[in-house]
Structure formats: structure tokens, C-alpha cells
Amino acid sequence: MAATRLSSTPLPGIGVRYDLTTRDQWRLSVVAHRDGVRTLSTYRTDDPDDCALSVRLTAEEAAALVDALLPEHHAPNLLSPADLGLVAERIELSGSSHWNGRLLGETRLRTTTGASIVAVLRRAEAIPSPTPDFRLAGGDTLIVIGTREGVEAAAGSLGRE
């Protein structure tokens, strides 16, 4: 089997185009626009000018697609929150939040909303499973998991000034 080859072509003023040819002779093309948008297109190699599909993705949609394509995403022993009827969201704690500088346990978030903060991203550091004595800081990104309603309630509480 031939090695997979990904080529890139600079597109001045636009971004970069990446091309991959599959073993079934489909050419996949991704244009990475400078503004974060991605355009995914497919072509048959026997007619490289005949575009079979072209989809424009936001940066967030492209990131979700990349996540879905990664092998670890489909590890059979890992549960996805969606498989359990749960959602996971990133909530940024503002510097003006009532909770800035307070202990995580003081929020009583799990008790009042049913949602849990399962990790905190602070600068370049990830803090998994923060304990109740963890001190929150403005600029923290909180990874919150729970029901849709619980996560929305948690976002409201954490956004309180």
C-alpha cells in the first residue's frame, strides 16, 4: 500500500490548500482560509475539475470534524458525554465574575445545578478534577459537564457579577 501523501499549496491572499488522494482515487481538498474558515471539497482523480462536493466549515465545525476523525475519538472503552445524554461545554470565567478568586466548593455548583466542573484550563495548563479548595481565577476556562439545563444554569451562575 502506498504511503499517504498530503500536499500543500499556498494561496496568496486566501490561505493554504491541502490535497490528499485516497486509495479509492478520490481527491480531498481542504482550503484553510486565513480567517479560520475551512472549505472541504472532493474530486475524482479522473476529472480533477469536476467537484463532487464542497462544504464550507466554520473554525468550530472544522475542529469538531478533526476530533471525529481522530482514532482516540472512537476508542470503544471511552464514553462520550452525548452517549449518556450529557453535554460538555467550556465556560470562561470573567475577571468581573462573583466567583473570581473564590474557592470552587463555594460555588455549590453540583448541588444547585447538577453540573460539574471536571477540569480547568488556566493559561497553558490543564487542571483535571479540581478539588473543592481549588481557587478560581478570572480568565480560567471551566470544562463543565451535565444535562443541557444543568450546564446552562451553571453558566448563568458562573457569569454572575
Claim to verify: residue 102 and residue 64 sit in the same structural domain: no
**What is the count of structural domains for the chain?**
2
Claim to verify: residue 18 and residue 68 sit in the same structural domain: yes
Overall average pLDDT of the 91-100 stretch: 92
Claim to verify: residue 85 and residue 154 sit in the same structural domain: yes
Claim to verify: residue 88 and residue 153 sit in the same structural domain: yes
Claim to verify: residue 69 and residue 89 sit in the same structural domain: no
Taking the C-alpha atoms of residue 15 and residue 46, their distance in angstroms, rounded to an integer, is 26
Per the structure, the complete domain to which residue 128 belongs is given by 81-158
Within-domain flag for 140: yes
pTM to 2 decimals? 0.54
For the record, the C-alpha cell of 4 comes out as 499517504
Within-domain flag for 88: yes
Mean pLDDT estimate for the chain? 85
